[in-house]
Chains A and B, each alone.
Chain A
Amino acid sequence: MKLASLLAGAAMVLGLATGAVAQDKTKVGFVYVGPVGDGGWTYEHDKGRQAVEAEFGDKVETVYVENVAEGPDAERVMTQMALNGADLIFTTSFGFMDPTINVAKKFPDVKFEHATGYKTAPNVSVYSARFYEGRAVQGTIAGMMTKSNVIGYIGSYPIPEVIRGINSAYIHAKKVNPDVQFKIVWAFTWFDPAKEADAAKVLIEQGADVILQHTDSTAPQAAAKNAGNVITFGQASDMGEYAPLPRVSSIIDNWAPYYIERTKAVMDGTWETVNTWNGIGKGMVGIGEISSAVPEDVKAKALELKAAIASGEYHPFTGPINKQDGSAWLAEGEVADDGTLAGMNFYVEGIEGEIPQ
């Protein structure tokens, strides 16, 4: 992985020599954590990049580096992008947060946009989607459809974004099915199809008949399909090739409008640091088609919840909700504030197991 980006880095240095020609073009860089063909997270970011190209045509040039490891290597890739004349750089994984801040300090004239993080700077914006809204819809479908009452959840890293998803799915599964139990496995990777498939198989062997994933590849879908009688949800991308079973619905990240808007802002010189966090209502989170394998009443209930979230009438984290240790978090009718959600590091009451710290 590192080597792939090393080569890409070397290619960029070569590019530097021939670079400084087309100054009138706005150059937009993308740093990806996985391959563009992962069928999930990175695939959707790359669709956003392509939308930027389609929107602005000759006025924009986009570059991307895939399979960039989270850590020091990311800093090197970003530095080279900036040296190579990028005006705007999107860094699309949580683990790129500190590297983005570090590199941004060195290049005050380059604008940076970091996905799913929380650290901003005069030239660093953060953006994310309220995936937990989609998780609420998934949890509802999962809770109503499970027969074994065991729902398996493949986590990637124990970061707030993932924990929010687990909590939201659990709360809504529990609401429709009080007997539901979550089994959570941490893969400690965003992308490793073999490991993701193993995790899915283990969960299925231990009785789960619904698999929720927060990793980037479609491998858990394939594992579930092989096992039969297991349902899954597309993650980050529709993963529609696994519909109608095992994939019964999905959370789709739609980055294109945001990428176009921000690129335009750089072109117009109106770019400012923002902290964007949009959900179903603004279209940044989409719910993939609920497949024919889902009974009508379940589908209706899920769509009703989706509509309520979209209109702002319902917030997935509405009290009363206790923390895992039983202490009160939200009182009756109280809604979680964004600050707490952004830094969420606890399970809600009823989830078993500990969050790796």
Chain B
Amino acid sequence: MDLSAINPVLLIASLMVAATPLLLAAIGELVVEKAGVLNLGVEGMMIVGAISGFAIAVETGSPWLGFLGAAVGGALLSLLFVLLTQVALANQVASGLSLTLFGLGLSSLMGQRYVGIKPPQMADIHIPGLSDLPVLGPILFGHDLMLYLGVAIIAGVWAVLKYTRAGLILRAVGENHDAAHALGYKVVRIRIAAILFGGACAGLGGAYISLIRVPQWTEGMTAGVGWIALALVVFASWKPWRVLLGAYLFGGVTVVQLNLQAAGVAIPVEYLAMSPYLVTILVLVILSADKSSAPASLGRIFHASN
């Protein structure tokens, strides 16, 4: 065993990168669920975002346009979910699942020409002085801008939900859509906006994998992150900062366990491999002892006539 081979600074820096796709997808889904809609299509929207972002970044040479394209791609796919659940009033669980299946197929079709291509790189920021600080520099000031944007979105969602009228209305729609409707709020429109936001965030999360974390396009490359994001929202009790905590925990333990393996630590690998799931669930379950529960209208279909 040689723990000195593990560089804690690099470890923390790479856990933040590993956590970002999950964080982006989960915060989008949190907003959707806060509005009372259960969209199980996160995985599908992520993978479509991954290829949309990748394709556009490769064609234009700009990773920023790529991320923009990824957000649009994810939102467009979620529009299908909007049509199914908000217009046609279809079952949300079934619609969400079909969105994932459709997204996986669509992405591999779109990605045919992009296998084995290297995308344009997004430079890490460099702030003179700050980025050169020992320890803190590489951890706090040495990442790509998308990573900071992810944290900013968490902060933004938290502030909007907690302090603004718009956030209050969104929560009202999610808690009791009939009451919100009676008060004159446009339940369907608000939900559509939330779903599109969720799609855009999931798309960004997918593109973070294909443009920064890996970076390349491979079919099915999100490999289940969308499902973990869904679980994370529940375990985080629909609270934005806990989503951040959960995502960093999950990403962190994933990277730590790989590091421990490489350093030859004498813990059976099976335990290491399951540790990200166990630790994340454990911590968030303990945190959720404060009885915060799901939005009351989650998954229920709304129609003004009811």
**A residues near B, CB below 8 A?**
1, 3-4, 7, 34-39, 67, 152, 158, 183-186, 188-189, 191-195, 197-199, 201-203, 205-207, 217-219, 222-223, 225-226, 239, 241-242, 352-354, 356-357
Known A37-B218, A193-B214; judge A206-B259 contact (CB<8 A): yes
The chain B residue sitting closest to A43, CB to CB, is B115
Bound Cα distance from A129 to B59, whole angstroms: 39
Chain A positions within 8 Å of B258 at CB level: 185, 198-199, 202
Q: Contact check, B262 vs A217: say whether CB atoms are below 8 A apart.
A: no
Q: Contact check, A194 vs B5: say whether CB atoms are below 8 A apart.
A: no
The chain A residue sitting closest to B224, CB to CB, is A1
**B residues near A, CB below 8 A?**
5-7, 10-11, 14, 18, 21, 97, 100-101, 104-105, 108, 111-112, 115-118, 121, 209, 213-216, 218-225, 254-255, 258-259, 261-264, 266, 268-270, 273
* Listed A/B pairs (15) with beta-carbon separation below 8 Å: A1-B220, A3-B97, A37-B108, A158-B269, A188-B270, A189-B223, A194-B214, A197-B213, A198-B254, A201-B14, A206-B6, A217-B221, A219-B216, A219-B218, A357-B268
Chain A positions within 8 Å of B116 at CB level: 39, 218, 239, 241-242
Known A39-B115, A206-B5; judge A184-B218 contact (CB<8 A): no
Minimum CB–CB distance for B41 against chain A, Å:
11
Residue of B11, B97, B214, B261 touching A219 (CB-CB under 8 A): B214
Residue of B104, B209, B213, B264 touching A353 (CB-CB under 8 A): B264
Chain B positions within 8 Å of A201 at CB level: 14
Q: Contact check, A207 vs B264: say whether CB atoms are below 8 A apart.
A: no
Q: Contact check, A39 vs B218: say whether CB atoms are below 8 A apart.
A: yes
Q: Contact check, B216 vs A222: say whether CB atoms are below 8 A apart.
A: yes
**Given pairs A189-B223, A226-B121, A356-B269, 10 additional interface contacts (CB within 8 A):** A1-B224, A4-B101, A39-B115, A67-B220, A194-B21, A205-B14, A205-B259, A206-B259, A222-B215, A223-B214
Residue of A38, A203, A357 touching B262 (CB-CB under 8 A): A203
Q: Contact check, A38 vs B219: say whether CB atoms are below 8 A apart.
A: yes
The chain A residue sitting closest to B14, CB to CB, is A201
Q: Contact check, B273 vs A188: say whether CB atoms are below 8 A apart.
A: yes
Chain B positions within 8 Å of A197 at CB level: 213-214
Chain B positions within 8 Å of A37 at CB level: 108, 111-112, 115, 218-219
Minimum CB–CB distance for A181 against chain B, Å:
10
Residue of B214, B222, B255, B262 touching A152 (CB-CB under 8 A): B262
Minimum CB–CB distance for A137 against chain B, Å:
23
Known A218-B116, A225-B118; judge A198-B18 contact (CB<8 A): yes
Q: Contact check, B269 vs A183: say whether CB atoms are below 8 A apart.
A: no
Chain B positions within 8 Å of A4 at CB level: 101, 104-105
Minimum CB–CB distance for B164 against chain A, Å:
34
Minimum CB–CB distance for A40 against chain B, Å:
9
Bound Cα distance from A34 to B104, whole angstroms: 13
Q: Contact check, B259 vs A202: say whether CB atoms are below 8 A apart.
A: yes
Chain A positions within 8 Å of B270 at CB level: 188, 356
Q: Contact check, B255 vs A198: say whether CB atoms are below 8 A apart.
A: yes
Q: Contact check, A195 vs B223: say whether CB atoms are below 8 A apart.
A: yes
Chain B positions within 8 Å of A67 at CB level: 220
Nearest 4 A/B pairs, CB to CB:
A241-B116, A37-B219, A35-B219, A356-B269
Minimum CB–CB distance for B128 against chain A, Å:
24
Q: Contact check, B273 vs A186: say whether CB atoms are below 8 A apart.
A: yes
Q: Contact check, B218 vs A217: say whether CB atoms are below 8 A apart.
A: yes
Q: Contact check, B220 vs A356: say whether CB atoms are below 8 A apart.
A: no
The chain A residue sitting closest to B9, CB to CB, is A205
Known A37-B108, A205-B7; judge A193-B221 contact (CB<8 A): yes
Chain B positions within 8 Å of A35 at CB level: 108, 218-220
Minimum CB–CB distance for A190 against chain B, Å:
10
Chain B positions within 8 Å of A207 at CB level: 5
Bound Cα distance from A217 to B215, whole angstroms: 12
Q: Contact check, B101 vs A202: say whether CB atoms are below 8 A apart.
A: no
Minimum CB–CB distance for A71 against chain B, Å:
15
Bound Cα distance from A34 to B108, whole angstroms: 13
Minimum CB–CB distance for B9 against chain A, Å:
10
Chain B positions within 8 Å of A191 at CB level: 220, 223
Bound Cα distance from A152 to B220, whole angstroms: 25
Chain B positions within 8 Å of A39 at CB level: 115-116, 218
Known A191-B223, A198-B258; judge A226-B215 contact (CB<8 A): yes
Residue of A189, A205, A217, A354 touching B266 (CB-CB under 8 A): A354
Q: Contact check, A194 vs B221: say whether CB atoms are below 8 A apart.
A: yes
Bound Cα distance from A207 to B216, whole angstroms: 23
Bound Cα distance from A4 to B223, whole angstroms: 12
Minimum CB–CB distance for A32 against chain B, Å:
11
Residue of A188, A206, A218, A357 touching B218 (CB-CB under 8 A): A218
